[in-house]
Structure 1
Amino acid sequence: MKALTWQGTGKVSVETVPDPKIQEPTDAIVRMTSTAICGSDLHLYDVLGMYLDKGDVLGHEPMGIVEEVGAQVTHIKPGDRVVIPFNISCGHCWMCAKGFFAQCETTQVREQGKGASLFGYTKLYGQVPGGQAEYLRVPQAQFGPIKVPDGHPDERYLFLSDVLTTSWQAAKYADIEPGDTVLVTGLGPIGQMSARIARHLGAGRVIAIDSVPERLAMAERNGIETIDFGKVDDVTAAVMDMTDGRGADGVIEAVGMEAHGTPFQSAAMKAAGLLPDPIARKATETFGVDRMAALRTAFSTVRRAGTISIIGVYGGEADPFPMMDLFDKGVTMRMGQAHVKRWVDDIMPLLTGDSDPLGVDDLTTHRLPLDEAPHAYEIFKKKEDGCIKVVLKP
């Protein structure tokens, strides 16, 4: 089959690799019909090569048609249309029983000290082949796959794999009360959907920060107020002015370690990615400091006794937090990988009708064949051609 493979820092290519096969009775094989590129994939593309091997298959936002199932897989069958959550969870361990699917004890990568395995995401998370391919082997398929109905294009359901469920968790973790003011940092796919979901969950006002014109325009046509940080001298002052000096009740930090405004950390991260793998891993795990401009904005703009929901991905081991200020303000912080299946029942009714209350149909900007995946990574990384969300069609 054809698959998008990592070949080195800043280099991916579509290669012919062996077709996946059933290995365990809890496996399924799914023929991919759509598979998206995530902002987290750019971390692999640019920074985290020390945790990858040449030829690793990327991608963790897949959906398709079931081709084959193992003997213990009974809730789906060949021919079913399914979305695959990005985290691999068993559904029956202690963590899963409590809804903490991103911490599944069956698939935890204990040798790396990490939570549940992820598709297409480095040795840190199990080095499981990903879904930017023609076929995907799905471990723990007795629980993971989400069966979806016909009647809408893939993109109506595809984002249950990550974007929708991650954004729903981000909004829930912001402790939104009716009428609250919510601030969202970053208007990539997660920020876009987090802002819309915050409104759906009762926020009276949602303000979002970015500088890319196409991102700002997309948010605005979905009812979100925006701040172009390239056109204001002080983002914090702008937020305070818009909230009568109090700050936002809840802040959703949807940028992570891709944040602008911290050139030293950016250069250090890129330099670490060019070191030999053992040295790079040691440097990252011991001295790694993320670009924290978006987090600092969240810290300074949340009101006293407010809540910060961190859904942007961070990888540093030595990030400096302003603990005195956070303690003084009495800030609550919640964060972590999305527990995908915990939120599916809440979201699915919003997708199956014709009304599209979350505006899911207004997210994908580029649909490209799998063969054009290297080009897709470049325009997504560089925010060229109005690129906000890419869906690949194997």
Structure 2
Amino acid sequence: AELYSCCENTNPNAGISEKMFGHPTCGIYGYSHLTGGFAGGQAEYARVVLADANALKIESDLTDEQVLFLSDILPTGYMGADMCDIKDGDTVAVWGAGPVGQFAMDSARVLGAEKVIAIDKETYRLDMAAAQGYTTINFENTDVRSALLELTGGRGPDKCIDAVGLEATHGASHVHLYDRAKQAVRSETDRPHVLRQAIMSCRSGGVVSVIGVYGGLIDKFPAGAWMNRSLTLRTGQCHVQKYMRPLLDMIEQGKIDPTRIITHRLPLTDAPTGYDLFKNKQDHCEKVVLTP
């Protein structure tokens, strides 16, 4: 079925994830003990498990940087758009203009979206999206839902993509305080500001696609809006192997340029510096490439 992230046989800690999620998840590199405890791929060498399925041989003259992101973030962004069933002329709103969000925008355009809207607060990320011709909304100085309605004739975007997930930092102040209080007493694990906003903003009958990671429990989920307005909610850890080959073809054809998001190139020994730049959003850092 090509639902690779739902594999039941690659997670040696399946019992842990089963207790958390009801069923086991697949094994994922560098993604905690819930997904097998496999060491991550940001190292000079990495052991590739089940390499016949999990490694893609590059036989063209593409550079390493052109194919590097096929390992994770480009397929994730593309899957976010793919789950939207985009039709020619659709308006697609993407929450989060980080690397995955940028790729979700590019993928939406490739799949036929007429208008792509980027939502973030970091001006350098919004500028990067604007340089590609996308409309931008800065949520720090604009009411997102009102702006989306204005941009879509009052109906809302046809498709909405949550490329943020559980660590969302914005939302109505009273709801934000509520979530932080719930987290403090360990009765809520995630901050679903973006998910709530996407559901409330999406046009009736539209699709909300979630590629931002959620790990536990959320509160104040707008189930009434979801059900009564016939919204389709789709999500999942990325089925990377499903998308690697088609995306490689798109890169070779020039339809997508993954290198456009690279802002910093550092040796592997400077990885801590790269993490610090990205985490604290310094020096307009969008994506760091580490070279062994």
Same fold (TM over 0.5): yes
From 54, 63, 79, the equivalent of 1:144 is 54
Q: Quote the Cα distance in structure 2 between the aligned partners of 1:212 and 1:267.
A: 26
2:262 counterpart of 1:371: no
Q: Quote the Cα distance in structure 1 between the aligned partners of 2:245 and 2:270.
A: 34
Q: Quote the Cα distance in structure 2 between the aligned partners of 1:347 and 1:263.
A: 41
The SS at the match of 1:350 is helix
2:179 counterpart of 1:265: yes
Checking the alignment, whether the CA contact within 8 Å between 2:192 and 2:218 is kept in structure 1 is no
What whole-Å deviation, never above 9, does each CA across 1:119-147 have from its counterpart, x for those lacking one? 11211111111122111111111221011
Question: What letter corresponds to residue 166 of structure 1 in structure 2?
Answer: T
What whole-Å deviation, never above 9, does each CA across 1:55-77 have from its counterpart, x for those lacking one? xxxxxxxxxxxxxxxxxxxxxxx
Checking the alignment, whether the CA contact within 8 Å between 1:289 and 1:319 is kept in structure 2 is no
What whole-Å deviation, never above 9, does each CA across 1:272-321 have from its counterpart, x for those lacking one? 8xxxxxxxxxx5xxx33311111121011100011000000011224331
Q: Could you tell me which residue of structure 2 aligns to residue 111 of structure 1?
A: 15
Question: What letter corresponds to residue 141 of structure 1 in structure 2?
Answer: A
Question: What letter corresponds to residue 178 of structure 1 in structure 2?
Answer: D
Q: Quote the Cα distance in structure 1 between the aligned partners of 2:64 and 2:209.
A: 29
Q: Quote the Cα distance in structure 2 between the aligned partners of 1:325 and 1:133.
A: 44
State the superposition RMSD in angstroms: 1.7
Q: Could you tell me which residue of structure 1 aligns to residue 34 of structure 2?
A: 124
Checking the alignment, whether the CA contact within 8 Å between 1:222 and 1:359 is kept in structure 2 is no
User: How far off its partner does 1:197 sit?
Assistant: 0.7
Q: Quote the Cα distance in structure 2 between the aligned partners of 1:260 and 1:389.
A: 20
User: How far off its partner does 1:267 sit?
Assistant: 6.9
Q: Could you tell me which residue of structure 1 aligns to residue 286 of structure 2?
A: 388
* Gap regions ≥5 residues in structure 1: 1-97, 273-282
2:209 counterpart of 1:300: no
Percent identity, aligned pairs only, is 41
Q: Could you tell me which residue of structure 2 aligns to residue 336 of structure 1?
A: 236
Question: What letter corresponds to residue 188 of structure 1 in structure 2?
Answer: G
Normalized per residue, the structure richer in helix is 2
Q: Could you tell me which residue of structure 2 aligns to residue 223 of structure 1?
A: 133
State how 1:307-326 maps to structure 2 within 5 Å. 307-326=207-226
The SS at the match of 2:79 is helix
Question: What letter corresponds to residue 279 of structure 2 in structure 1?
Answer: K
State how 1:1-394 maps to structure 2 within 5 Å. 98-108=1-11, 109-112=13-16, 113=18, 114-232=24-142, 234-261=143-170, 262-266=176-180, 269=183, 283=186, 287-353=187-253, 356-394=254-292
Q: Quote the Cα distance in structure 2 between the aligned partners of 1:235 and 1:293.
A: 12
Q: Quote the Cα distance in structure 2 between the aligned partners of 1:105 and 1:180.
A: 36
User: How far off its partner does 1:149 sit?
Assistant: 3.0
Q: Quote the Cα distance in structure 1 between the aligned partners of 2:100 and 2:32.
A: 21
User: How far off its partner does 1:218 sit?
Assistant: 0.7
- Alpha-carbon spacing, 1:266–1:358, altered in 2? closer, same or farther (3 Å): farther
User: How far off its partner does 1:214 sit?
Assistant: 0.9
TM-score by length of 2: 0.91
The 4+ residue runs of structure 1 with deviation greater than 3 A are 263-269
TM-score by length of 1: 0.68
User: How far off its partner does 1:237 sit?
Assistant: 0.5
Checking the alignment, whether the CA contact within 8 Å between 2:71 and 2:244 is kept in structure 1 is no
Q: Quote the Cα distance in structure 1 between the aligned partners of 2:223 and 2:182.
A: 24
Q: Could you tell me which residue of structure 2 aligns to residue 10 of structure 1?
A: none
- Alpha-carbon spacing, 1:263–1:189, altered in 2? closer, same or farther (3 Å): farther
- Decide which moves more: 106-115 or 302-311: 106-115
What whole-Å deviation, never above 9, does each CA across 1:53-104 have from its counterpart, x for those lacking one? xxxxxxxxxxxxxxxxxxxxxxxxxxxxxxxxxxxxxxxxxxxxx1011111
Q: Quote the Cα distance in structure 2 between the aligned partners of 1:383 and 1:268.
A: 27
- Decide which moves more: 172-181 or 101-110: 101-110
* Gap regions ≥5 residues in structure 2: 19-23, 171-175
Question: What letter corresponds to residue 101 of structure 1 in structure 2?
Answer: Y
Q: Could you tell me which residue of structure 1 aligns to residue 21 of structure 2?
A: none
User: How far off its partner does 1:352 sit?
Assistant: 2.1
Q: Quote the Cα distance in structure 2 between the aligned partners of 1:288 and 1:194.
A: 28
